[in-house]
Structure 1
C-alpha cells in the first residue's frame, strides 16, 4: 500500500472511499514483490498493480466487493496446470493478496491515513496489518514511526513512536487501542515492525494471538516506507554524469562530491540531489550513511582514492566500487595495504567497478555499474538468464502458512 502512498494520500484528503489490494507474499516467478498494491475507489478508478496484469481484473472485483461489504479478505492466485488462461499467474508464480476496505468511518482509516501521509511526505514509517487469524482481526492496522515524527496515540486505534530510523533501536512506545486484542500483541508487533523499519524491509511475521510465539497463530504483514537510499558519486567526470542519471532512475538520492569546484557544478550535474565541493574522504567522514548506501569512486587518482577508500571500506554501507584499469586496481590495492587496510576489508571493494558488459561510453559504463549494484543488492549472479538455471527473482518472500482462499 505504501508504494502508492502519494496518490492514496490525496484520496484520503478528498474524502474518498477506496479499497486496497496488497501483495502479502509471493512464490515462484510472481512479478511483484510484497507491498505492491492496487487501489480502487468508489467510482471505479484504479491505481497501482499487484501482478503486472496477470490477475488485475479479478483483484479489481475483489476491491469493489470489499467496498460494498466492508470486509477484508485474503486470496491466493496461482498458476493453473489445467487451464493456463484461467484466472492466475501464467508465469508460474503464486501470490497472496490482502484486500482491505478504507472507507470514511472505518475504524482503521485514521491509522492507514496517518501511514499514507507519512510515506507520501518522505518520512520513515511502518504499517502492520493482520493477514490471517480471527475474522475480527484480519485487516486491523498498527502504525510505527521513529521518535519525534508524530504524536503518540494520535491516530485513533493504534499509533507508535518507536526508535529512530537508520540503525536506531525500537521499543513498543505508547499506543491507543491497537489491534483490539491482547495488549501484549500490540507491543510485540510494534517492536517487530520497528526492526523491519530499521532495515527498510517489507514482509510477514508469524506471532501468537497474545503476542508470544505460542498460542493461536497470526500472520502480520509489515510494510516499510523509508527515505530513498543514498548513492554518493566521488569524482565529477563525464562517467559520473551518466551514473547520476541512472542512480536517479533507480530511486537513489544522489550526491556528487569532488574537491575541484570547476568540475563539481550544477550545470554539469543538473539531476543530482546534492553537489559537494570538498575532499572526498573529509566529506565521507561527516556525512550520514547507512546499510543501503552505495559509494562509487570514479576519481581514479591515488591522492583522492586512498584516504577515501581506507575510510569507505570500514563503513557499514551496501556497496563500495572504484573505477580504474586492472593496473590501477593493483597499484591502488598496494597503496591501501600500506595504510593498514586489511585483506578482509579489500575483499569488499568492487574494482574495476561494474559488470563485464563490454561497456565503452559513459552511459554504457553507468549501466554496468548500476547492474552490479542491483546484482549485489538482490543476490544476483550477473550471468545471462538465457540457459542459466538460477532464479529470476532472488528475494521473493515465502508464502505464509495458514488457511488461505484459492483462485484458479
Structure 2
C-alpha cells in the first residue's frame, strides 16, 4: 500500500481551527466562522479559499434571507480523506475505514488469535488492513493513516504495547513500527478506552461537546477523560483507568496485581462466573476473552434484558459497583457528562446507566449543585475501532482536541 497523504500545511493553527469549526457545525457561513474563531473576516476568507482549493471543504448553497445578500454555507468534504481504525480486543479485532466525519465506509471483525502471540496477530492485521482498504473502494493515496486502539498500558511515544493484563505474552511489543513497516501507512496507537472517548467526541458533534468521562466496556473495563475541552491522558498517557479503581478492599485478585478492582466484578468473565453462582452452578472457568466466554456472557445479558431474575440480579450487582466507582471518579474530575459504551453493554446499557445516575445523584459530593447526564454511546459496539480511526483525524486537524499531557 502507498503511504497516506501528509497534510503538513494543516499544522497552521488558524487553518485547523477554521476547519474544525466547519466540521462541528456541519453547515456554517464565513461570518459565523469569524464570530466563533475571533479571526478577522479577511483571515477567514483567505483560509476558506485554501480549504476549498484543497477539496477539504465544499460550498453547500446559500442560506435563505429576508433581505440583503444571502450567506454562502460551507461544509466539510467528508470524502476528501479517510482513516483506518483497528481495535485489538482480546476477544475480537474490529477494523473499520471511516471518512473524515467518522462514518464507517467498510468494516470487518475477526477473532484475535492471542494464544499464538503478538507476531501472528500483527501479521493478520497487516493482511486485514490491505484487504479492507481494497474492499472499501477508497483510493489508497487518500488514506491518512491507521489508528490502533489496544488495551493499556502503552508507551505511546515509542509505539509499544506494554504488558496489558488481558493480552498474555505481549511484552513491550513494537506495534507501531511493525504495522507501519507492513502497511506503508503512518500509525498512531492509543489505549482502547481513550480511543473510544475520542471516537464518541468526534462522531457525536454538538451532542458530545464539553467535558465528559467515558467508561468503556470490553473484555476489560477502561475509561477516558475530556477536561477543559481537551483529551486528558495523564503523565504516562494512561489516565482514566476506572477498571482498576478499588471497589472492594481486599477483594478479588486482579491481573494488575491489586485486589477488589472494579474490573473483577464488571468484566464479562466476572459476570459469567457470578451468574453461574447465583444459579447454584460451578463457574464455567472459561478463559477470559475466549469465544466461549463471550457467548456465555451474551446469553447472560440477553437473559437480563428479558427479565430473568438471576441474570438481572447479577448485572445489577455489577452495576452497583460501577456506581460506587463513578462517584469516586466524579468527585475528583467533576465533569457534567458520563458516557457508557463498548460491546460489553450492548444489551444492558440501560441498567448500568440508571445505576450510575442513581448513585451519583444520591452520594456524590456535588449532587446539590450539579446536574449530571449519564448516557450510552451514540456510536454503538464499534466505538473503539471508530475511535481508533478518529485518532488519525483529530491528530491531523483538530486543534481544540489536541492531547494534553498531565
Q: What is the TM-score normalised by the length of structure 2? A: 0.26
Higher RCO structure (Cα 8 Å, ≥6 apart) = 2
Which one has the largest radius of gyration? 1
- In terms of fraction of residues, the more helix-rich structure is 2
